Amino acid sequence: MTLAPETDLASSDGPVGQTFLPRYDDDAAPVVARSSLGRLTVDEKFVRIGSVVSGVALAWLITQRLLPLQGLPWFVIVAFVCTLAVTWVTAAMTDGAVHARDRLAATVMTTGAALVGIVLVSAVVFVTVKGWSALVHLNFFTDDMSGVGPKDGFDRGGVLHAVVGSLIQVGIAVAITLPLGIGTAIFMTEVPGRFAKVVRTVVEAMTALPSIVAGLFIYTVFIVALGYPRSGLAAGLAISVMMLPIIARASDVVLRVVPGGLREASLALGASRWRTVWHVVLPTARPGLATACILGVARGIGETSPVLLTSGNAQFVVVNPTDGVMNSLPLFVYSLVRTGEPNAVARAFAGATVLLAVVMVLFVTARLIARPKRTKSSRRTRRPAVDLVMADPLVEMGPVAPPARPEENP
């Protein structure tokens, strides 16, 4: 569609000041729909997907027919290399080296990330499949292992004592670490000073404590030096020693990203510091704190090494944590795997599946709590109370950039 040249308009004999409708020029080229800039065309899609498919096919040809490279790892490696090669060739055919490099990088990123995803899925699926034969028996969830030998069938024995033990030990650990950890975090953020700095340095340093050393510490002090027997209490204490720095640190990170303006507003309205903490800081940080604690618990429940040294290995349900040996899920898995009997190993995998399920439930709960609440009116989108990208408690070192404290901010 083109406009008639302006000279035509000027020379036409209509009165000056009249509006002219543009006339269609029949000689103009037909209109072509402009291709979308962002989206891939069908051709490009075909080339990209086709490169991957042909790379994998080529890998099959090379590993299974041409070269003596049997086995899954070789297939994966060769497929990766072939995909890159085919991608490079197809990209270089149409575009220059710059674009080919871009496409190559995109392929590396995508396949690398896919590999990590496959690894995660493979671990979960593998553990579940290996333990399936034991998991389908209901008594696995309602029985303990008293009187059950490693060769016994799956219709006897179960994981109940380990689940109970794990819950009691982690309960002890939570009862100790939660008040102390969050209290320390409040102390470090709300009462700043030289002493708080010392506490923060020490707590941060102790997050480097390997979990086995935490177990060894409790073993040396509580069991060898003080002479108490191995018990659920000792295991709970060992988990506490391991979890305390982690929870204190994660909570500290979460409290530090509470906006300083909220604190100042509360203080300016005449609230005392105590009321500010209780009514403003803690409610604001609640989702982040919950996430920090639940992930700390997930870490504590899955850690084998402190429990290995301190709890002993009971085969029956023990409810009293001070009453001698106890069992827990990771220890149950570890000790059964070590026997090497096929049935015991299958049971261990079933126990690992239960452990994985417990951790996943905790994890999903943490994510749901941490999710920013939707405001009822959809017009206003409220910012989440705590920026969870900044305050991801999983990252033990805390936010990469702790926000500047308000008094330093001009």
| Residue 210: Cβ-neighbour burial (10 angstroms; 0-12, 13-18, 19+) | exposed
Token pair for 168: 């009691």
CB 60, CB 75: distance < 8 Å: yes
Decide if residue 37 touches another protein (CB under 8 A): no
Closer Cβ to another protein, 60 or 187, answer by number: 187
CB 259, CB 388: distance < 8 Å: no
What's the CA gap between 141 and 159, in Å, rounded? 6
Q: Contacting another protein (CB under 8 A), which of 208, 340, 376, 377? A: 208
Shortest Å distance, C-beta 244 to another protein: 6
Decide if residue 213 touches another protein (CB under 8 A): yes
Decide if residue 119 touches another protein (CB under 8 A): yes
| CA-based end-to-end distance of the chain | 58
Shortest Å distance, C-beta 61 to another protein: 19
Q: Contacting another protein (CB under 8 A), which of 71, 227, 270, 340? A: 71
Ranges within 44-63 binding another protein (CB under 8 A): none
What's the CA gap between 194 and 200, in Å, rounded? 10
Please give the full DSSP string across 82-127, using - where no structure is assigned: HHHHHHHHHHHHHS-HHHHHHHHHHHHHHHHHHHHHHHHHHHHHHH
Q: Contacting another protein (CB under 8 A), which of 58, 82, 214, 292? A: 214
Shortest Å distance, C-beta 348 to another protein: 8
Decide if residue 305 touches another protein (CB under 8 A): yes
CA triple 17-19-25, angle to 5 deg: 130
From 25-33, 144-152, 153-161, 177-185, span contacting another protein (CB under 8 A): 177-185
CB 349, CB 140: distance < 8 Å: no
Q: Contacting another protein (CB under 8 A), which of 101, 137, 156, 286? A: 101
CB 254, CB 397: distance < 8 Å: no
Q: Contacting another protein (CB under 8 A), which of 63, 90, 184, 343? A: 184
Decide if residue 282 touches another protein (CB under 8 A): no
Token pair for 397: 């070192």
Closer Cβ to another protein, 3 or 202, answer by number: 202
Closer Cβ to another protein, 5 or 183, answer by number: 183
Please tell me the total number of residues recorded for the chain in this structure: 410
Decide if residue 99 touches another protein (CB under 8 A): yes
Token pair for 343: 């049935």
Shortest Å distance, C-beta 311 to another protein: 13
Decide if residue 4 touches another protein (CB under 8 A): no
Closer Cβ to another protein, 25 or 44, answer by number: 44
Shortest Å distance, C-beta 152 to another protein: 21
From 10-18, 102-110, 155-163, 318-326, span contacting another protein (CB under 8 A): 102-110
DSSP code of residue 287: H
Ranges within 370-389 binding another protein (CB under 8 A): 387, 389
Which of these, 378, 379, 398, lies nearest to 389 by C-alpha position?
A: 398
Ranges within 132-151 binding another protein (CB under 8 A): none
Decide if residue 84 touches another protein (CB under 8 A): no
Closer Cβ to another protein, 140 or 334, answer by number: 334
Q: Contacting another protein (CB under 8 A), which of 9, 52, 81, 180? A: 180
Token pair for 217: 């510490």
Q: What phi and psi, each to the nearest 5 degrees, are found at residue 272? A: -75, 170
Q: Contacting another protein (CB under 8 A), which of 42, 66, 400, 408? A: 400
Number of residues that bind another protein (CB under 8 A): 109
Decide if residue 274 touches another protein (CB under 8 A): yes
What's the CA gap between 44 and 60, in Å, rounded? 24
**Beta strand spans in 172-297 (E):** none
Question: Which residues neighbour 203 within 8 Å (Cβ) at sequence distance 6 or greater?
Answer: 184, 188, 245, 248, 249, 252
Decide if residue 233 touches another protein (CB under 8 A): no
Decide if residue 245 touches another protein (CB under 8 A): yes
Closer Cβ to another protein, 160 or 203, answer by number: 203
